[in-house]
């Protein structure tokens, strides 16, 4: 899931970014900030885009799956579990069912939204500054920093029983430190729209919201069926999905975004895979790349870079292809927004 920087979410304009570093062909970027800065949900970067000026992008290599499988202390169980067990998280850990006294801190914006849609909002005691949905309900929920720069002492004060994290979104070091004093850490890593079915079952099962989870699952299945029907009526297209400008950046095919676009018949280029986590999942490119000749349409996402109408002409000139603005939340946010996003994309394709 890609998300704008905190100032874009909450109206700030101060972006003292510096020290952009590129290493060995990989977009490894260092940033130096004043205050909290984080980079995209469901991705190893967050955008720092200052109002009216160019900002540095940042891509940081995130923890691998193996990293999350090691040293996660205070988990409920380490015995092998069957893949079909709904209470096993993305790190292979089986969780016990929690009682009504559960206190949840979510470090992932889309999971925060999902908790409220599961009817668990009263148990959410902490969230990041990027957690903005549902907007009104979240005003009363304390912030614990960003998704990368987490305020550990603030979380300690909130005394959560459970913290929700994501392999792409949160740092391994943060998870290790949280595991020292948080009883239960729930690790997530959806890579396709279908993966949300297991996510619903996991959180619904842990927190006693099975009925609400089942309703969300039924709605997602219906949206997936709608997308499958759409693909029978419209020809597939090859698209370039832009997430950043200067450097121009796109997505690899094994990301959640690419899988969501493919569900409605949009195949992303370049045809590369970036691995489970890391900078290669969101590659930079130049406009003279040979594979661009096969692109039929360019999609400009509203996040992490806030592409606007004025960027359309620039991109259409560079790509010599039609370009279209898209809502990044509808494409990159997993959880309860997945069904809504698929339907939004289906409507968009029908209207073209």
How many folded domains does the chain comprise?
2
Give the lowest-confidence range in 6-10, 197-201, 278-282.
Answer: 6-10
- Whether residue 72 is contained in a domain is answered as yes
User: Quick check: 347 pLDDT over 70?
Assistant: yes
Cα 238 to Cα 266: distance, rounded to the nearest angstrom = 6
Overall average pLDDT of the 129-151 stretch: 96
Range of the domain at 99: 65-218
Co-location of 76 and 166 in the same domain: yes
Q: Which of 194, 218, 242 is the last residue of a domain?
A: 218
More confident: 20 or 90: 90
Q: Which residues contact 232 (CB under 8 A, 6 or more apart)?
A: none
Co-location of 243 and 195 in the same domain: no
Co-location of 236 and 214 in the same domain: no
User: Quick check: 314 pLDDT over 60?
Assistant: yes
Q: pLDDT band for 62, please (50, 70, 90 cuts).
A: very low
User: Quick check: 81 pLDDT over 90?
Assistant: no
Cα 103 to Cα 153: distance, rounded to the nearest angstrom = 16
Co-location of 84 and 174 in the same domain: yes
- Whether residue 59 is contained in a domain is answered as no
- Whether residue 80 is contained in a domain is answered as yes
Co-location of 172 and 245 in the same domain: no
Tokens encoding 72: 């996660």
Co-location of 310 and 212 in the same domain: no
Q: pLDDT band for 297, please (50, 70, 90 cuts).
A: very high
pLDDT for position 1: 54
Q: What is the CATH number of the domain that holds 237?
A: 3.40.50.1980
Co-location of 181 and 105 in the same domain: yes
Backbone phi and psi for residue 122, each to the nearest 5 degrees, phi listed first: -70, -15
- Whether residue 12 is contained in a domain is answered as no
150-196 pLDDT per residue, tens: 999 999 999 999 999 999 889 999 999 999 999 999 999 999 999 99
Co-location of 72 and 200 in the same domain: yes
pLDDT for position 263: 98
């Amino acid at each position: 899931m890609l998300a704008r920087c905190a100032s874009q979410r909450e109206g700030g304009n101060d972006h003292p970014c510096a020290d952009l570093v590129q290493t060995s062909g990989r977009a490894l970027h260092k940033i130096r900030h004043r205050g909290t800065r984080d980079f995209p949900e469901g991705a190893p970067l967050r955008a720092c885009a200052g109002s009216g000026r160019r900002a540095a992008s940042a891509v940081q290599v995130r923890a691998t799956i193996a990293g999350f499988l090691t040293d996660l202390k205070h988990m409920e169980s380490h015995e092998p579990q069957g893949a079909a067990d709904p209470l096993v998280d993305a790190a292979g850990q089986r969780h016990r069912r929690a009682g009504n006294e559960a206190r949840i801190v979510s470090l992932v914006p889309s999971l925060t939204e999902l908790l409220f849609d599961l009817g668990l909002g009263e148990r959410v005691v902490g969230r990041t500054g990027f957690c903005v949905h549902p907007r009104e309900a979240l005003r009363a929920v304390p912030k614990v920093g960003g998704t990368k720069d987490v305020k550990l002492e603030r979380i300690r004060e909130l005394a959560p029983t459970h913290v929700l994290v994501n392999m792409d979104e949160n740092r391994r070091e943060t998870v290790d430190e949280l595991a020292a004093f948080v009883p239960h850490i729930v690790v997530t890593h959806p890579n396709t729209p279908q993966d949300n079915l297991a996510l619903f079952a996991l959180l619904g099962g842990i927190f006693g919201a099975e009925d609400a989870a089942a309703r969300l699952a039924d709605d997602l299945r219906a949206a997936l069926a709608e997308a499958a029907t759409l693909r029978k009526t419209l020809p597939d297209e090859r698209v370039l999905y832009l997430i950043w400008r200067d450097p121009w950046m796109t997505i690899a095919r094994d990301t959640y975004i690419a899988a969501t676009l493919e569900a409605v018949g949009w195949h992303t280029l370049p045809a590369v895979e970036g691995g489970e986590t890391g900078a290669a999942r969101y590659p930079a490119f130049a406009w003279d790349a040979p594979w661009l000749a096969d692109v039929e349409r360019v999609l400009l996402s509203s996040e992490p870079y806030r592409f606007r109408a004025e960027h359309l002409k620039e991109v259409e000139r560079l790509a010599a292809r039609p370009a279209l603005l898209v809502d990044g939340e509808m494409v990159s946010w997993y959880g309860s927004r997945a069904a809504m996003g698929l339907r939004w994309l289906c409507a968009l394709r029908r209207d073209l």
